[in-house]
Amino acid sequence: MEIEINENEIKIRVMPESTAEEITTYLKENKEKILETEKTEETLILIIGKELSKEDKKIVTEKLKDITDIPVRYDIPEKLELVDIKKPYEEDIEESKTKFYKGSLRSGQRVEFEGSIIIIGDVNGGSEVVATGNIAILGSLRGVAHAGSDGNKKAIVTAVKVDAPQIRIANSVKDIKSQIDESKKYIYAYIKDEEIIIE
């Protein structure tokens, strides 16, 4: 990890494998460097290098609040923008060509397929799964999942656990602002009345 100080910006670069505990320890060790930064109304702290889960962001933000009142922003890589969709449509895909991917995706990895994708592992923060069909994750979803990437609104996303900032189906995006019930055996997301429903 490293801290880079520019005009009106304190950039903290974390490693893809860094845990929230390691990040907070690093911030504590570099407290004086953060405090000696000349502040203006435009100064902000930018966390880059890894897309953190909601819980990790909360932990890191609370630690920074203990150190300084400078606002914090988390940078999401540009590669995670929505795929360009010319025209949404609906087509049943209970049966479709399917790709199996064995193993967990690390930050920076991307799996894309014309059809459905089954991930036998976790999709970690900073990684991305894109499918024109359905996406099934036999593990935790912490990164980005975009089903129906060519516009099919009947695509679905399912995972054992979801701790991601959002889920995408066709041209719809669902921001996940609260913790999803962990007592459920799996999470199922689909579009109904132009909105993504999570059950």
Question: Model confidence over 45-79: pLDDT tens digits?
Answer: 878 777 778 888 888 888 888 888 888 887 654 44
Write down the pLDDT at residue 153: 92
Strand partners, 10: 5, 45
120 and 161, same domain (yes or no): yes
The percentage of residues in the chain with a pLDDT greater than 90, rounded to a whole number, is 30
Tokens of 104: 């967990």
Is the entire prediction scored with pTM above 0.75? no
Measure Cα distances from 7 to 1, 36, 73, 86 in Å: 20, 13, 16, 40
- What residues make up the domain containing 170? 81-198
**Per-residue pLDDT averaged across 15-36, rounded?**
83
133 and 191, same domain (yes or no): yes
169 and 93, same domain (yes or no): yes
Tens-digit pLDDT profile for residues 79-97: 444 555 556 566 666 677 8
